[in-house]
Structure 1
Amino acid sequence: MAPTVVYDSLPVISSTKDVEPTPFQAMCHGPTIPGIPSFKTLEEKRQWQLEHMASAFRVFARHGYTEGMSGHISVRDPIHTDAFWMNPLGVHFGMLRASDMILVNLNGDIIGGKRNRPINAAGFLIHAAIHKARPDVHAICHTHSTFGRAWSTFARPLDMINQDVCNFYNAQGVYAEYGGLVLCEEEGRRMSKALGPTGKGLTLMNHGLLTVGKTVDEAAYLFRLMEKSCEAQLLVEAAAANGLQKQIIRDEEAAYNFKMASEAESLYCEFQPEYEYEEFLTGGAFKA
């Protein structure tokens, strides 16, 4: 049975006499679109999270972020707050459903979900370290996407070269200490430190990208955005190598863009077109 979803009612901002709109309201001319829902029970919220987690994997598959058994998403459980859901190792992103996910606590104990497959050991160490250090983070995305891997070889943050990448203004880190496959807790802790207390995106040198969010929708949208921003940056660097000059957005404008666009409600809504398209393509098969 589908979760009971309750959407908070937000006022229409119609004139300068009204109170100042929130960044989310400012995006809408007229009535606001539904934002992050609330639920009558934590069980319903859990099911909703798992459905959106599965849809994020399907979206990632559709955009070609698969690479063998690499890549993982985690979502903090609303009931066992010291545990998070992860995808089973070795199942293609495009086949994942809500019922396939595995619940693991911060100590590494499998405590729920589908137990007939393992989770990614390196993925657990990375996600556990970030979930421990960042109580505000409810979801983490990491894959070995093509342009993220390419840009990561430079061990540089993305430049503010367009409006969209400003969602990462002063909120991106670089982990420039590549230590091979992550098979020890210390490596995960170093990655978490590189992300920082307020980071939204992390470039892992010679490895790929990682994003976080208050919802899996936010983290997934930011991952898509960061991957496409890496592609744009690589194109710009190639053009600049032939003598064209880059124009970087000034700090004042970049900070304004970040304030108005890079907040949880807006970033959740940014992912909904992808979610709804995936639901349309599959008839909601990922919810099972």
Structure 2
Amino acid sequence: MTQPAQPPGQEPAPIPPDRLHLAMPPEHTSLREARAHRKQRLAAALRLFARLGYDEGVAGHITARDPEFTDCCWVNPFGIPFRHVTVGDLILVNQEGQVLEGRHHVNQAAFVVHSRVHSARPDVVAVAHSHTTYGRALSALGEPLEPITQDACAFYEDHALLDRYTGVTVDEEEGGRIAAALGSHKGVILRNHGLLTVGDSVDAAAWWFLQMERACEIQLSAKAAGKPVPIDHRSAVATREQLGSDLVAWINYQPLYTSITRDEPDLLS
């Protein structure tokens, strides 16, 4: 609704806050609706990862817990490029790695890692992992993220480092070690491997992965240029409390979701 014309020289009246739109996580009226929503968000996140260059061969996966069968997850199918994944391509997998719905195989690493994380963290809806350039570079140093930027403070005392490398993750024991290292945090750096993030929505998990990868890039760049000045503990904690919730992550992610679904609407098919 347009505002009525104001007399010349008179300032327009403020619009009441309850008439302004503010995007917030939706409330679903059925499990079917919740499932469709999670699958759409999952396909969109995979397309966005492809746009950002986060896919490489068959490495990388994002999972979304099914809202009804909570010990099962939707995941990208093995061998299909992120940039081509649609909602209809997603597969449903149980904790034994068996495909319950879909036409493709599951990535063994996706089953091993994600199933252990989902099992250990019932609060987590989505898990994101990929072999990104800067995530792998920082992981090769065996270093955690430091509070050297405002955005990095979202991970201050809220991410972990799995300081060991045991090869390609193909057994449940290694998946359990990753879940244990993650603990209650939003992300973990896997030494000589890459990054893994979680969230109470696909949007949050994807946003944290994007932000963690960016924080790795900035930390490596800053240290290559000189000696970064860290943010003090008290300020870093206060900043994390402001920026580090999954709700804030969800809100930040919405422009990216809108962009990818408008540019590539076929992903919803």
Whether the TM-score (by the shorter chain) exceeds 0.5 is yes
Show the counterpart of 2:234.
252
Q: Distance in 2 between matches of 1:12 and 1:192?
A: 43
TM-superposed deviation, 1:40: 1.3
Query: Where does residue 4 of structure 2 map in the other structure?
Result: none
Corresponding residue for 1:5? none
| Distance (Å, rounded) in 2 between the aligned partners of 1:248 and 1:75 | 35
Task: For residue 109 of structure 1, report the CA deviation from its aligned partner.
Answer: 2.4
Percent of matched pairs sharing the same residue? 39
Instruction: Please tell me whether residue 72 in structure 1 is matched to residue 54 in structure 2.
Output: no
| Deviation of 1:32 (Å) | 6.2
Letter in structure 2 aligned against 1:43 = R
Give the AA of the match of 1:167: A
Q: Which residue of 2 aligns with 1:225?
A: 211
Distance 1:136 1:201 in 2: 14
Alignment TM-score, normalising by the size of structure 1: 0.85
After TM superposition, where is structure 1 displaced by more than 6 Å over at least 4 residues in a row? none
Equivalent residue, structure 1, for 2:91: 102
Identify the residue that residue 182 of structure 2 maps to in structure 1.
195
- Asked if 1:62 corresponds to 2:48, the answer is no
Contact 2:97 2:106 in 1 (8 A): no
Letter of the 1:253 counterpart:
S
Does 2:130 correspond to 1:148? no
SS at match of 1:254: helix
- CA distance in 2: counterparts of 1:279 and 1:86, whole angstroms: 19
Aligned-partner Cα distance in 2 for 1:246–1:177: 26
Rounded Cα–Cα distance in structure 2 between residues aligned with 1:232 and 1:60: 19
Secondary structure at the residue paired with 1:158? coil
Q: CA deviation at 1:31?
A: 4.6
TM-score (norm 2): 0.91
Unaligned 5+ runs, structure 2: 1-15
Matches within 5 A, 1:199-218: 199-218=185-204
* Counterpart for residue 269 of structure 1: 251
Name the amino acid aligned to 2:266. Answer: A
1:82-130 per-position Cα deviation (integer Å, ceiling 9, x unaligned):
1111110111101111111111112222222x1x211110121000110
Tell me the residue number matched to 1:138: 125
Residue identity opposite 2:29 in structure 1: K
User: How far apart, in 2, do the equivalents of 1:213 and 1:151 lie?
Assistant: 22
Counterpart CA distance in 2 for 1:89 and 1:107 is: 16
- SS of match in other structure, 2:141: coil
Match of 2:224 in 1: 238
Q: Which residue of 2 aligns with 1:17?
A: none
Find the structure with the greater CA-based Rg: 2
Q: Deviations over 1:202-234 (max 9, x none)?
A: 111111111000000000011010111111011
Give 1:184's aligned residue: 171
DSSP-derived class of the 2:257 partner: helix
Distance 2:109 2:173 in 1: 12
2:146 to 159, 170, 191: 159
Tell me what 2:28 maps to.
39
CA–CA separation in structure 2 for the residues paired with 1:132 and 1:279: 30
Report the CA distance between 1:12 and its aligned residue.
4.8
How many pairs are equivalent? 254
The residue type paired with residue 177 of structure 2 is R
Measure how far apart 1:253 and its partner are.
1.0
Counterpart of 2:195, as a letter, is L
SS of equivalent residue, structure 1 residue 248: coil
Once the 2 structures are TM-superposed, how far is the Cα of residue 263 of structure 1 from its aligned partner?
Answer: 1.3
Structure 2 CA distance for aligned equivalents of residues 155 and 12 of structure 1? 48
Gaps of 5+ in 1: 1-10, 14-29
- The AA in structure 2 aligned to 1:60 is F
Tell whether the 8 Å contact from 2:125 to 2:201 is kept in structure 1 after alignment: yes
CA deviation string 1:21-59 (max 9, x = no partner): xxxxxxxxx956221101111101100110010000111
| Residue 254 of structure 1: how far off its partner (Å) | 1.0
